[in-house]
Amino acid sequence: MVQLALPPNARIDKSAGKHYPAPSGARRVRTFRIYRFDPASGQRPRIDRYDLDMEQCGPMVLDALLKIKNEVDATLSLRRSCREGICGSCAMNINGVNTLACTRACEDLGGGDVSIYPLPHMPVVKDLVTDLTTFYAQYAAIKPWLQTRTPAPPDRERLQSKHEQQRIDRPSACILCACCSTSCPSYWWNSERYLGPAALLAAYRWIVDSRDEALGERLDALEDPFRLYRCHTIMNCAEACPKDLNPARAIGAIKQMLADRQH
Amino acid sequence: MTLRSPLGRVLNHGAAHGGVSHWIVERVTALALAPLAIWLLVTLLALPVLDHATLSIWVATGWNPVWLALLVLLASWHSWLGVQMVVEDYVHGLTKTLTLLVSTCVHALLALSGVYAILHIVFAGTA
């Protein structure tokens, strides 16, 4: 059935949010409105407001979050690791856009409050930490490894021309942060059956790899009204990608290949 | 609550090996509908008056009934495919199956009654 109302634990309790004022003497105050939810508590999610002195805070949104966690409220949960945009751990929704907290500068967010939510439409483990189990399973489902029948040359690597390498160069740069998939409405409504832009970009990366010998099998596995064809070229994926990749174009190329082998 | 592995859930029944012709036909019908829609608009606007008698004669004139029937069939086909996509996006379970059945019946009815109306005007005059 079409679900019109959100379940209670997806509705924010507007009366429950806490406010943490900036320390006295703060000169450049900015408010961070952060989604807080602990499923184990039995309480509905709330928005806590943290006022930070930006003179005493690093430039990136992740710096602000870590300042809050270290100095203001240690109960805030978030994932982070590399703090330089290569691990994909700190993907979250900042001012309505999925991106990495470590590479998004507070100054680039314009003026006003900064709203921070977990990645949309994913089960929340706690606060800004979402459950990405299905997302990772979808990546595993496209068999993200080289498949060959020809044995590798005994004395060297499998060779690839410069041009052939260039075809996989960009799609290989995906860090699996899930910003694209969780920004895609098609993925929201059918996240179990639609593979989503990230997994399809990964599939494309192996489809166009000149060394791979499983192109037919890879296309066979994607030839499905839900796995692939839920993409309606909404393009949120390309808009969201913090690595400036274009999953939508990769999906379009896969659809073109499937059409080409029909005639 | 399921103890099935995440990969097992995602792989599920495997690929249905469908969707390609749906994707192609969606585009081909759209391409064909564009000139037909322009033809309809231009020729209708070129008529001196848009009353019942004029239109009845217009429908039965020359190749008009052929283009009109083509337009009705292609529009129904295209709409059927489009509605199916929307339903599959938003509706789940048994409701989805029932909605798709109803949509199919409505579109078949639209296409057939449209073509029947054109044939009726051509061969039996206006109703």
Which positions in chain B touch A196 (Cβ < 8 Å)?
none
On whether residue B15 sits in a domain, the answer given is no
Kindly tell me the burial class for residue B52, based on how many C-beta atoms sit within 10 Å of its own C-beta (0-12, 13-18, 19 or more).
exposed
- Average pLDDT for A111-135: 96
What is the spatial distance between Cα B43 and Cα B20, in angstroms, rounded to a whole number?
Answer: 35
The tens digit of pLDDT for each residue in B80-96 reads 999 999 999 999 999 99
For residue A3, pLDDT beyond 80? no
pLDDT bracket for residue B41 (50, 70, 90): very high
Residue B19, classed as helix, strand or coil, is coil
Q: Which residue has the tokens 């639209």?
A: B110
Q: Is the confidence at residue A4, as pLDDT, over 80?
A: no
Does some domain include residue B102? yes
pLDDT at A218 (0 to 100): 98
Residue A142: closest CA among A195, A208, A213, A194: A195
Structural domain tally of chain B?
1
Average pLDDT over residues A41-63: 96
| Nearest Cα residue to A80 out of A116, A107, A113, A47 | A116
* DSSP secondary structure code for residue A226 in this structure: T
The confidence score (pLDDT) of residue B126 equals 65
Residue B113 lies in a domain: yes
Q: Taking all residues of chain B, what is their mean pLDDT, rounded to a whole number?
A: 95
Instruction: For residue A24, report the phi and psi dihedrals to the nearest 5 degrees.
Output: -65, 145
- ipTM, 2 decimals? 0.91
DSSP B68-126: HHHHHHHHHHHHHHHHHHHHHHH--THHHHHHHHHHHHHHHHHHHHHHHHHHHHHHH--
**B14-36: pLDDT as tens digits:** 999 999 999 999 999 999 999 99
Apex B65 CA angle, B61 and B69, nearest 5: 170
> Measured between CA atoms, how close is A234 to chain B, in angstroms?
13
Using CA atoms, how far residue A112 sits from A12, A31, A60, A108, A109, in Å, is 21, 8, 15, 11, 8
Q: Name which of A190, A225, A262 is nearest B16 (Cβ-Cβ).
A: A225
Asked whether residue B59 is assigned to any structural domain, the reply reads yes
Mean predicted confidence (pLDDT) in B110-119: 97
Reported confidence tier of residue A9, pLDDT bands at 50, 70, 90: confident
Ramachandran angles phi, psi of B35, nearest 5°? -65, -35
Q: Where are the domains of chain A?
A: 19-130, 133-260
Cβ within 8 Å, pair A137-B6:
yes
Confidence of residue B2 (pLDDT cuts 50, 70, 90): confident
Domain region containing B103: 33-124
pLDDT of residue B127 exceeding 80, the answer is: no
SS3 category, A132: coil
What is the DSSP-derived secondary structure letter of residue A105? B
Tell me which residue of A38, A259, A224 sits closest to A141, measured CA to CA.
A224
Q: What share of chain B is helix, strand, coil (3-state, %, to 5)?
A: 80, 0, 20
Give the pLDDT band of residue A219 (cuts 50, 70, 90).
very high
What is the CB-side half-sphere exposure of residue A33 using CA atoms within 13 A? 14
Which superfamily does A19-130 belong to?
Answer: Beta-grasp domain (3.10.20.30)
Contact A126, A38 (CB under 8 A): yes
User: Is A232 in contact with B90 (CB distance < 8 Å)?
Assistant: no
B1 or A218, which is more confident: A218
CATH superfamily of A133-260: Alpha-helical ferredoxin (1.10.1060.10)
Closest CA to A160 of A202, A216, A212: A212
Query: pLDDT-derived band of residue B1, with 50, 70 and 90 as boundaries?
Result: confident
Q: How far apart are CA A252 and CA A238, in angstroms?
A: 12
CB contact under 8 A, B6 and A136: yes
DSSP β-bridge partners for residue A39: none
Q: Which residues pair with B21 in a beta bridge?
A: none
Put simply, the answer to whether A259 touches B10 (Cβ < 8 Å) is no
Contact B20 A224 (CB under 8 A): no
Has residue B107 got a pLDDT over 80?
yes
Helices B94-124 and B64-90, axial angle in degrees (round to 10) = 170
Contact B17 A220 (CB under 8 A): yes
**Residue range B42-67: average pLDDT?**
94
Q: Is B7 near chain A, with CB under 8 Å?
A: yes
Residue B63 falls within a domain, yes or no? yes
| CB-based contact, B91 to chain A, within 8 Å | yes
What average pLDDT does the segment A157-168 reach?
A: 96
Helix axes A196-207, A247-260, angle to 10 degrees: 60
